[in-house]
Amino acid sequence: MRAIKRYCSQNAFSLIEVILAIVILETIAVAMLGMVSFGNRAALINEENLKVVNLLQRKAEEIKCRDFDTDFSEIGFTYTGYTNYLFTVTQTVPWLGNAALKKIDVVVSWTNPLGVPKSEPMTFLMGDY
C-alpha cells in the first residue's frame, strides 16, 4: 500500500499549470507572428521604394541621353510592367539666368502595397556643353 501511495504522491503537472503554460506559449507565438507580419510589410515597402529609386535613375539617364533642346515635358514615359507609376517631368529654362543650363524635375507617383499614395521627386541640372 505504501508503494501505491508513494507512486501517487509524486509531483505532476496540474491542469492549471498546463493551461498556464499553453497561454504563455500562445502569447509568445502571437507576438512573434506580429513581428513577422511587420517585417513582411516593411520588406514590401522597401522593395517598392527601391523600385521607384531605380525607375527615377533610369528616367534621369534616359533624359540625359537626349538632346539639350528636347522638351521633356511632352515626352510620355512608361515602362513595361510598371503600370502603377505616373511620371511627371518639368523643366526650367534657363536655369539661374544661364541659357546653357536647364533644371529637370522628375516626379514619380504611385500607390504603395498598403494603399497609401506616395510620390518621390528627383531634380538634376542638364547643360548644353
pLDDT tens digit at each of 129 positions of the chain? 555 555 555 667 788 989 999 999 999 999 899 889 888 888 888 888 888 888 888 888 888 888 877 777 655 565 555 556 777 777 777 767 777 788 888 888 877 777 788 888 888 888 876
Residue 11 vs residues 8, 78, 92, 118: alpha-carbon distances, Å: 8, 73, 84, 61
pTM exceeds 0.85 = no
How many angstroms separate the CA atoms of 51 and 84, rounded?
12
Length of the chain: 129
